[in-house]
Amino acid sequence: MQALVTPEWLNGRLNDEKTVVVDCRFLLNNPEAGESAYRQDHIPGAFYFHLERDLSGEKAEHGGRHPLPPVDRLAALFSRVGIDESVTVIAYDDQEMSMAGRLWWLLRYLGHERVAVLDGGYAAWKRAGYPVTAELPAAVPRTFVPRVQAHMLADVNGVRERGADTVLLDSRAIERYRGEQETIDPVAGHIPGALPFFYKDNLTADKTMKDAESLKARVAPFAGKEIIVYCGSGVTACTNLLALHVAGRPDAKLYAGSWSDWITYPENPIATGDE
């Protein structure tokens, strides 16, 4: 399935019982803001998934700020809102498609390809004048059967031991990549050898995804190479993974723990500045 859908496409399928819409709005600096906004208004029929309660696991010594949830917990969550292999899932947010991208990636990681992100998020939906509501939806539970796609995931060892033909892309702002500014994680800098690839550079001024040709040009230098993408905690990297998918590179891997996992290993080297 295509990675992105338009508000027009989604509006035409709101009454389709085999389409499940999920609101993923979330602010890192205000963890309850997304759900509060959802309760004020959302796309009709949309359920709400919270990044930290639903789409992340429990924090531990390693694994980063937003570790992957246990597979059985995700399967129970998806089952509860009526997702099975026959259902198409559309995720949206208002955070440059990174939170929705996290759900998109998780579903694909568990073998569910019928999932896409609303291009431009909730703002694009409202700009188009489509309906919103505060009414909470009633779920029709189904049984989600996970089929883990381990090849989509890179762990810390995979990043350490990557070969010369593997490109490591850092999705964070250039100031964080260089180690000039770090307001989230306790250590500044980047993984040695990583290239800066800011996730917002995939977007137009209205926060929709750039066209496929522009994205293909951006990733052209990586032709024939394996790609691993990371960010601070494995969330904004998902906007890059969406862009890579649109650009014809659906094979790119996510280092889910990302920088916040890397720095929990004292033996891991750290780079600053440009490379």
Average pLDDT, the chain: 97
212: region left, alpha or beta (phi > 0 left; psi from -120 to 50 alpha): alpha
CA atoms within a 13 Å half-sphere pointing along the CA-CB vector of 58: 3
Task: Supply 86's token pair.
Answer: 């026959």
DSSP assignment of 96-113:
TTHHHHHHHHHHHHTT--
Looking at residues 162-175, what average pLDDT do you find? 97
Percent of the chain whose predicted confidence (pLDDT) is above 90: 99
As a whole number of angstroms, the distance between CA 107 and CA 48 comes to: 15
pTM of the predicted structure, to 2 decimals: 0.98
What is the side-by-side order of every strand in the sheet holding 4-5? Answer: 4-5, 115-118, 88-92, 19-23, 47-48
**Do residues 258 and 236 lie in contact, with contact meaning Cβ atoms separated by under 8 Å?**
no
| Domains of the chain in sequence order | 4-148 (3.40.250.10), 151-262 (3.40.250.10)
pLDDT tens for each residue of 74-117: 999 999 999 999 999 999 999 999 999 999 999 999 999 999 99
**Do residues 143 and 52 lie in contact, with contact meaning Cβ atoms separated by under 8 Å?**
no
- Report the pLDDT value the prediction gives residue 275, as an integer from 0 to 100: 82
Q: What is the distance of C-alpha 44 from the center of its chain? A: 22
**Do residues 136 and 35 lie in contact, with contact meaning Cβ atoms separated by under 8 Å?**
no
pLDDT tens for each residue of 130-161: 999 999 999 999 999 999 999 999 999 999 99
**Is 238 labeled as catalytic in the residue annotation?**
no
Band of the pLDDT at 254, cuts 50, 70, 90? very high
- Report the pLDDT value the prediction gives residue 134, as an integer from 0 to 100: 98
What is the side-by-side order of every strand in the sheet holding 226-230? Answer: 153-154, 253-255, 226-230, 166-170, 195-196
- Report the pLDDT value the prediction gives residue 152, as an integer from 0 to 100: 98
Band of the pLDDT at 185, cuts 50, 70, 90? very high
As a whole number of angstroms, the distance between CA 181 and CA 188 comes to: 7
pLDDT tens for each residue of 228-252: 999 999 999 999 999 999 999 999 9
Residue in the structure block whose two tokens are 């004048």: 129
Candidate list 231, 247, 252, 263, residue with the active-site label:
231
